[in-house]
Amino acid sequence: MARQLRLLVGTRISKPKQVPMPYRHLFFIRSQGESTLSQPISACIMTKNEQDNIGACIDSVKPYVKEIIIVDTGSEDDTVKIAISKNVRVHQMEWKNDFSIVRNEMIKIATQPIILMIDADERVLPNQEESFRDTCNLLFDDHDKIGRVTILNEQENKETLKSSISRIFKNSSSFSYAGAIHEQIQSESSNTTYFQSGITLEHKGYLNSSLIAKDKYERNLSLLFNELKNARNGSYINFQIGRTYYVMGENKKLLII
C-alpha cells in the first residue's frame, strides 16, 4: 500500500493535450472545472481584437458545453492571452475578408458531435441547462435539423431588438457556411428542417461605442457591397446593408439602396 501511495504521488494526473491540426495551433489545456451540466457541444468563436468581450463570452457559454474553440484572425490586443487563460482551444488563421471561411475552419476543428456558433460580443443568458439539453436531444434524434437561437440585440438607446438565427447543428460534413458576411449555414441534404431552440443569447455588438471602436461599420459595408456584386439574389444583401445603415443612424442612405 505504501508503495502504491508513493507511485500515485509521483504521477501526473493530467497534462496539456496535444492535438495535431493542419494549421498553426497555439494552445490547448483540458479544463479541470468542467460542469456536470455541460452537453456534447463545441462552442465556436471567431475573434479579432475582442479583449473587451472574449472573457465574458467564454464564461457565459462554458457551463453548457464540453469544448470551446477560438479562431483568431490577427488580434493586436490581449484577446489571445485572455482566451488562453480561460483554458480553451486557441487557433490562428489569416483573415481573408470572408467570415464563412473562418466558420468552416471551426467546423473542421470541432471534436464534439454538436456545434454552436457564438460571436465574441454575445453572451449566453444564465439558467439555460434545460434548453441546451432539449436542443441536443432534438439534434441527436434528427441529424438534418438546424436549430435557431434567439438573439437579444441591445441598442444604444437601451431598446432591445429580438431576432432568430440558425446557430446550432450536428457536426457533419453536410453542413457548411456560405457568404463573406452575414454568412448562412447550408446543408447538402434536401430533408433539412429548422426548429426554434430555447437557447437565448444577448448581443452587445450593436452598441454604437463598441462598433466605432472596431470600425465594424466600414468593414461590414465594404464586405456587403462587394458581395452584392456577385449575388444572384441581392435582396438579402440589400437588407443587411440597410440594417447596417440603420444601426449607424444613416437613415438618409436607406433611400439610395
Say if residues 155 and 145 touch (Cβ distance below 8 Å).
Answer: no
Query: What span, in angstroms and rounded, lies between the C-alpha atoms of 149 and 166?
Result: 6
Work out whether strand 160-170 and strand 114-117 pair parallel, antiparallel, or are unpaired: antiparallel
Q: Which pLDDT does position 106 carry in this prediction? A: 98
Helix (H, G, I), strand (E, B) or coil at 57: helix
| Vertex 115 angle, CA 123 and 78, to 5° | 50
pLDDT in tens, the chain (257 residues): 444 434 333 434 344 333 333 334 444 333 444 556 799 999 999 999 999 999 999 999 999 999 999 999 999 999 999 999 999 999 999 999 899 999 999 999 999 999 999 999 999 999 999 999 999 999 999 999 999 999 998 776 677 889 999 999 999 999 999 988 778 899 999 999 999 999 999 998 765 555 544 466 676 777 777 777 776 667 777 777 777 777 666 766 655 55
Say if residues 97 and 177 touch (Cβ distance below 8 Å).
Answer: no
Query: What span, in angstroms and rounded, lies between the C-alpha atoms of 22 and 5?
Result: 41
Domain spans of the chain?
17-208, 215-255
**Residues in contact with 126: Cβ distance below 8 Å, sequence separation at least 6, in sequence order:** 60
**Number of helices followed by number of strands (H, E) in the chain:** 8, 11
Which residue carries 459595408 as its cell? 221
Is 3.20.10.10 the CATH number for 17-208?
no
For 61-84, write each residue's pLDDT tens digit: 999 999 999 999 999 999 999 999
The reported pTM is 0.74
C-alpha to C-alpha distances, 3 to 9, 10, 192, 236, nearest whole angstrom: 10, 11, 59, 69
Burial of 207: CB neighbours in 10 Å, binned 0-12, 13-18, 19+? middle
